[in-house]
Amino acid sequence: MTPEELIEQARAMLPRAYAPYSGFPVGAALECADGTVYTGCNVENAAYGSSLCAERTALVKAVSEGHRHFIRLAVIGNTEDFCTPCGACRQMLYEFAPDLTVYMANRRGEYRTASLGELLPQGFGPDALGSEARSST
Helix count and strand count (H, E) for the chain: 5, 5
Cβ atoms within 10 Å of 31's Cβ, excluding its own: 22
Question: Is there a catalytic annotation at residue 55?
Answer: yes
Instruction: Give φ, ψ of 114 to 5 degrees.
Output: -150, 155
HSE (CB half, 13 Å, CA atoms) of 2?
Answer: 5
State the catalytic residue, choosing from 8, 31, 55, 95. 55
Catalytic residue numbers, as ranges: 55
